[in-house]
Amino acid sequence: MRRETMTNVGMLQPGTSEYEAFLSRDQRIVYARYKDRRADIFLLEQGQAEAQREFTRANLECMMPDCSDRRLTTVSRSHSGRRDGFRHFAKGHGNHSPESLNHQQAKLAVASWITRRHSGLLVQLEELVGARDRVADVLVTSVTSGKRMAIEIQYSEMSIAQWRERHESYANMDVADLWLLGHTTLSTDAHGKVELTSLHRAMLKAGSRLLWINPITEEIGVVWADLARRACPRRTCFHGERDQYWALPSGADDDGWVQLVRLDDCLLRWGDIETPSPLGSAESVKQWELLCDRAHERELRLGETRLSRQAAAYRRPITPATKEPAVPARDAVLCGRCGGVLKDREVQVWGVHADPKCHLRW
């Protein structure tokens, strides 16, 4: 049932080709730089290895900073369903560590994506920020407002203290920080549920989103929480359907699943990445928010009604649930109409109650 639900909204499922491709630890070189203009990046598209082989040998080179022999050629793997890529022309060279290679290619993928999708932004790699030797993997600066955002790619292990120190350092410099975790660090259980670490929870508590990047597939992994398993942000309504999801909120320890989104389908925002929602279109999100607001208002009205009823109940005199009939004394004078006790002496003289509601007992 859970896996069918995730299929409906494009959640990442173990055992699928998309799952295997995104989490693959296979080492691939798909980015290169031009020999004559090293600031420009070339991405080898899938299925183009043979067509680009001569162009690669003549015009491209390895983009790794510490490469000893930058000459490249292409390797065609698409016929077997695997990713095409580059390899070093000279054997024995290019033994770059997978972590370093993924980190460098992720920086290039992000920089290339921002340049394609956004104008008016200055994109710089490995740029110094401030006077504390803080170097951002990718520094984005608005040419109009001057606002800056640091994008950090994190493939290596990092403690909560290290992350918090860097996060607060950027905040003190008025620089927004966006963290993209390496795809090889993502771990899920057999059902596709993300296994949150203490670092993930610390990031959520600080207001950061959990995002993973795979530069080979050019995808972002976004964590979503199941609407059917949690309330709205106000925690007052549970109107979500089984196959609707919402962004995992800050500070939450809820179950989360990963949706894969292509980089080109995302937009860069101040300190965040805007990704397509599993809820569908923007209109669907507005409809969900409208339902949330209505449910919240309904809960408020019901709460006010309950309070008014409770207040009225406190004001009413407490009466016993059952009232035992009064047993008249032996010398009591009874009403000739209703049989009730005549307490007032003047009424006793007449023998009946003066109350017009007193009815004759048949």
Answer yes or no: are the C-beta atoms of 70 and 61 closer than 8 Å.
yes
Q: Cα separation of 272 and 178, whole Å?
A: 6
pLDDT at 321: 55
- For residues 129-155, average pLDDT: 91
Answer yes or no: are the C-beta atoms of 215 and 102 closer than 8 Å.
yes
End-to-end CA distance of the chain: 70
pLDDT at 182: 96
Q: What is the pLDDT of residues 226-277, one digit of tens each?
A: 544 444 554 444 444 444 444 554 444 556 778 888 999 999 988 888 887 6
pLDDT at 162: 96
Q: Give me the helices (H) in 60-97, please.
A: none
Strands (E), the chain: 31-34, 41-43, 60-61, 72-75, 85-88, 121-129, 134-142, 148-154, 176-182, 211-214, 219-226, 245-247, 256-262, 267-269, 272-274, 333-334, 341-342
Residue with tokens 């002496």: 345
Which of the pair, 174 or 326, is modelled with greater confidence? Answer: 174
pLDDT at 247: 52
pLDDT at 356: 54
Give the rounded percent of residues in the chain with a pLDDT score beyond 90. 40
pLDDT at 15: 75
Q: Cα separation of 231 and 249, whole Å?
A: 11
C-alpha torsion sign, points 231, 233, 235, 236: negative
pLDDT at 5: 32
Structure tokens at 130: 């401030």
Residue 48, helix vs strand vs coil: coil
Q: Cα separation of 103 and 98, whole Å?
A: 8
**What global pTM score does this model have?**
0.68
* Pairing label, strands 148-154, 176-182: parallel
Which of the pair, 104 or 254, is modelled with greater confidence? Answer: 104
Distances (CA, A) of 237 to 46, 65, 108, 289, 350: 46, 53, 43, 11, 67
pLDDT for 81 beyond 90? no
Give the rounded percent of residues in the chain with a pLDDT score beyond 70. 68
pLDDT at 347: 55
Q: How does residue 300 score in pLDDT terms, banded at 50, 70 and 90?
A: confident
Residue with tokens 């207040």: 311
- For residues 121-146, average pLDDT: 90
- For residues 338-350, average pLDDT: 64
pLDDT for 296 beyond 80? no
Which of the pair, 304 or 166, is modelled with greater confidence? Answer: 166
